[in-house]
Structures are given as C-alpha cells and as structure tokens.
C-alpha cells in the first residue's frame, strides 16, 4: 500500500487538497492519503520532510498559491528551493502545484485553474507511483497542467 502525502496551506484561497484527493481516488486504489496543513508555502518543505520521514510517504503533493506582489514571488523561489532540498535528500518526488493569483483575470478563472492544475498533477502523481509507462509514452509531447497542452513541435 503506497502512502501519498498531501501538504497544503491556510494561505491559499482555494481548497486544492479536496480536488487532489478526489482525483486520486478516481484513478484507482492501492494508496492511503496523509494530510498536513501549514500556514504558507515556505512551510511546505518542512511539512514534506515530516511526511517522508515520520509518515513514511512514498510521494508528496505540495499545494500552494503565490500572491501578486514581488515579495510573494520571492517566497515562491525560497519555497521551491526548500522543496528541492527535501527531494534531493529523500530521493522521492514532491509534485509542487503552485497557482499564481495573477494567472487568471477573475475568481471564476482562478477557481477553474486551481481545479484543473491540481487534478492534472494528481494524475501525474498516480502515474509516477503506478503507471510510469504512461508518463514514458507522453515524454516530449508538450503536456501542461492547468491550461491547454502545448503539444509537440510540428516538424514538416
């Protein structure tokens, strides 16, 4: 039984974890989910480390929202750095799902983006654990999570 950690924040303005859990359950079985909520994205790396070490998770989804201000973009860089540190030490994946508040023009667009990106990364998460050959088949095909896929380069 694989253990999937889901780390999220009170800072985010959308319940990303609910979407992640729902989409994972649609993929199949064979896993348990472990939740962990922290205040903000800079707290996600330590949460992931705890999910790996204490909760024996095999993979973690780290869900967050990035604000519009320059200081928020710096936050995201620091958080990303922390997520790399934890992955490099653990030898396990952390799928970072970050939605920037300025990626959509209104709340409805933002909500759609939160749903889509989280769910598409939940599928990636399930694939990394159970269907790596599915990822292999999509190598180099321009997949995107959230917005439409870019698709492969057209070479005449």
- List the one residue from 121, 122, 129, 146 that touches a second copy (CB under 8 A): 121
- Binding of residue 29 to a second copy (CB under 8 A): no
Nearest approach, Cβ of residue 138 and a second copy (Å):
4
List b or e across 4-33, with b for residues whose CB sees 16 or more CB atoms inside 10 angstroms.
bbbbbbebbebebbebbbebbeebeeebee
Residues in contact with a second copy, shown as a per-residue x/- string from 131 to 150 under the rule CB under 8 A: -x--xx-xxxxxxxx----x
- Three-state DSSP at 63 gives strand
Rg (CA), the chain: 15
Nearest approach, Cβ of residue 28 and a second copy (Å):
19
Residues in contact with a second copy, shown as a per-residue x/- string from 41 to 70 under the rule CB under 8 A: -xx-xxx-xx--xx----------------
Question: What distance in Å separates the CA atoms of residue 62 and residue 5, rounded to the nearest whole number?
Answer: 8
């Amino acid at each position: 039984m694989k253990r999937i950690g889901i780390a999220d924040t009170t800072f985010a303005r959308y319940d990303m974890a609910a979407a992640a859990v729902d989409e994972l359950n649609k993929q199949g079985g064979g896993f348990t989910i472990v939740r962990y909520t922290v205040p903000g994205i800079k707290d996600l790396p330590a949460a992931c480390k705890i999910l790996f070490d204490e909760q024996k998770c095999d993979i973690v989804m780290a869900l967050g929202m990035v604000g519009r201000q320059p200081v928020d973009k710096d936050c995201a860089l620091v958080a990303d750095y922390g997520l790399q540190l934890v992955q490099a030490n653990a030898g396990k994946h952390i799928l970072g799902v970050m939605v920037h508040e300025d990626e959509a023009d209104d709340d409805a667009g933002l909500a759609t983006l939160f749903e889509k990106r989280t769910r598409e990364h939940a599928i990636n998460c399930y694939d990394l654990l159970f269907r790596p050959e599915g990822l292999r088949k999509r190598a180099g095909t321009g997949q995107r999570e959230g917005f439409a896929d870019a698709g492969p380069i057209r070479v005449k």
